[in-house]
Chain A
Amino acid sequence: MKTIKNDVQNIVRDMLQGFYFEHKERVYYDSKHHIIYRKDLGDIGQNVVLLSGGGSGHEPAHFGYVGDGMLSIAVSGPIFIPPTPEQILAAIRKADKNKSVLMVVKNFKADVDNFLTAESIALKEGRSVDHILVNDDVSIENDATFNKRRRGVAGTVFVHKIVGAAATEGFSLQKLKEIGSSVVSNLHTLGVALTPANNPTQTETSFTLEDHEVYFGVGIHGEKGYRKETFDSSEKLAIELMNKLKSIYRWKKGDKFAVLINGLGATPLMEQYIFSNDIRRLTQLESIDVRFFKVGSHLTSMDMKGISLSLLKIEDPNWEKWLKADVRVSSW
């Protein structure tokens, strides 16, 4: 398998250095802790600084969302491994002590453990820190329970955008946490893989697929899905994902939604837009009111070919306003 890299051990460092060189006009890079943060962090007007992060391999998440209107700080771990509590603590300490820090954390056990460990240390230092756990993944656990997996996946980007925009309006830490938590409870994501991801630090992929097969419900680290079947058409992928999300929302005619079509890493934009067109037609068929529609590779899984569909039921008109607000980041 050919990939554009040098020493595997330095993948994250090399990538972040490259990103920093491109955006050095507006961000700083802490090369020791793998943190990208806003250059103007010291004098932003908002009360709360938004921080996110996680394992690498999901680019542009999360450093691609650092900038005015979204995240202020992003911290990166090794491929598919969350940053350590020390890294996260270093990221929290980038903020002035008089500012509150709100962390957006994807609901994976190791991520939650590390972020909350850092949070408790920061609290002891007298800092004001809190977190939002994103759990939009509605695929199923790999057991007989059929319980939804509830990890944090692509919908996390909507949380960055909405809470990031709200933060610029000066809301308190508590209020922003409430907004974020309310968004999360209306946010669900389901994806389909056409190929597994190749992790350069592993010799084998986490699952295998025949050339003709697709795999519904895989996770962003290659967690198992719920069904493999022969690929037929983009339309059938769209119908499957929409039907499953419909069973969760039980939407009514006229319900308002924001939609995120997310390429999983190696899906050409052409294919993402073909799928988007199918979703457009299905939302029309269901008579749901799509107020915001976003397409692109926003939270990926290395070079996985596939796509995910995130829906956010808009319960507060401000969410739409904040999704549409101008932003100055590299990847929105």
Chain B
Amino acid sequence: MTSSIITQKMIAKSLKDLMETETFHKISVSDIMINCQMRRQTFYYHFQDKYELLGWIYKEETKENITDFIEYEKWENIFNQLFGYFYENQRFYRNAFKVVEQNSFNEYLYEHTKNLYLKIIDELSLGFGISVSEEKKSLLASFYSHGFGGTIKDWIQNACMINPSVMSSLMKTMIHDQLILSLRQSANHKVEKR
């Protein structure tokens, strides 16, 4: 049987629904497949085990919500959307972060937010007429992506107490102001070295 990404999404949704009320460790492959009314065997056409499925959700949903929007949407709107997504899925993620055997969340979120930060740096540096080396861009994007990942995780762990739109706004201002400062300093530094 060939693999279907929509079938994978259906299986993923089933697991996510179950994780709203049950811990990951108590959920079996049979539970997942009964919940989405598919044959148990279908699970194994698409995933080795439930840990692989959890990693797939991290990978697919961070890609679909971040990288796939980079050429379609303003970066400010991508942040809004991303905080909205995590807010809606907070129970799943709080539950999922307890799964020590599958901790690829940081890795995938980092990969895709780094793409987003690279876009932001490009746009801001272009808008302010500042030239930044590729190395510097990568370093800045990496720094902010690690910060973003940690902030998201803390926010989810703390029951998303701060409103997602406030979070998004804070992050946007922080990124904008600090990046401009860093970029200007980088540019000045570059000039001084010459």
Give the interface of A toward B (CB within 8 A).
140, 144-146, 216-217, 226-227, 233, 235-236, 238-240, 243-244, 247, 250, 278, 281-282, 285
Q: Are A236 and B64 in contact, with the CB atoms below 8 A?
A: no
CB contact between B6 and one of A140, A227, A282 (< 8 Å): that residue: A282
Q: Are B72 and A146 in contact, with the CB atoms below 8 A?
A: yes
In the complex, the 7 A-B pairs of residues with the closest C-beta atoms, listed nearest first: A227-B71, A146-B74, A281-B6, A226-B71, A235-B5, A226-B72, A235-B6
Q: In this assembly, does B9 line the interface, its C-beta being within 8 Å of a C-beta of chain A?
A: yes
Question: How many residues on chain B are close to A (CB under 8 Å)?
Answer: 17
A-B contact pairs, 12 of them (CB 8 A): A145-B74, A146-B73, A217-B72, A226-B71, A233-B5, A235-B4, A235-B5, A235-B6, A239-B9, A282-B6, A285-B6, A285-B9
**In the bound complex, how far is the Cα of B180 from the Cα of A227, in angstroms?**
28
Which has the most chain A C-beta neighbours within 10 Å: B13, B71, B74? B71
Interface on chain B toward A: helix, strand, loop, or mixed SS? helix
Q: In this assembly, does B69 line the interface, its C-beta being within 8 Å of a C-beta of chain A?
A: yes
**In the bound complex, how far is the Cα of B95 from the Cα of A131, in angstroms?**
54
Chain A residues lying within 8 Å of B102, measured Cβ to Cβ, are: none
CB contact between B5 and one of A144, A226, A236, A244 (< 8 Å): that residue: A236
Q: In this assembly, does B81 line the interface, its C-beta being within 8 Å of a C-beta of chain A?
A: yes
Q: In this assembly, does B123 line the interface, its C-beta being within 8 Å of a C-beta of chain A?
A: yes
Shortest distance from the beta carbon of B46 to any chain A beta carbon, whole Å:
13
Q: Are A240 and B71 in contact, with the CB atoms below 8 A?
A: no
Q: Are B72 and A239 in contact, with the CB atoms below 8 A?
A: no
Q: In the complex, what residue of chain A is closest to B12 when comparing beta carbons? A: A285
CB contact between A240 and one of B6, B9, B68, B73 (< 8 Å): that residue: B68
Shortest distance from the beta carbon of A108 to any chain B beta carbon, whole Å:
21
Interface on chain A toward B: helix, strand, loop, or mixed SS? helix
Chain B residues lying within 8 Å of A282, measured Cβ to Cβ, are: 6, 9
**In the bound complex, how far is the Cα of B5 from the Cα of A238, in angstroms?**
11
A278-B6 contact given A227-B71, A244-B72, A247-B73, CB 8 Å threshold: yes
Shortest distance from the beta carbon of B50 to any chain A beta carbon, whole Å:
19
Shortest distance from the beta carbon of A215 to any chain B beta carbon, whole Å:
11
Q: In the complex, what residue of chain A is closest to B2 when comparing beta carbons? A: A233
Chain A residues lying within 8 Å of B18, measured Cβ to Cβ, are: none
**In the bound complex, how far is the Cα of B64 from the Cα of A238, in angstroms?**
13
Chain B residues lying within 8 Å of A226, measured Cβ to Cβ, are: 71-72
**In the bound complex, how far is the Cα of B63 from the Cα of A240, in angstroms?**
11
Q: In the complex, what residue of chain A is closest to B9 when comparing beta carbons? A: A285
Q: Are B9 and A243 in contact, with the CB atoms below 8 A?
A: no
Q: In this assembly, does B10 line the interface, its C-beta being within 8 Å of a C-beta of chain A?
A: yes
List B residues 68-108 near A (Cβ within 8 Å). Answer: 68-69, 71-74, 77, 81, 84
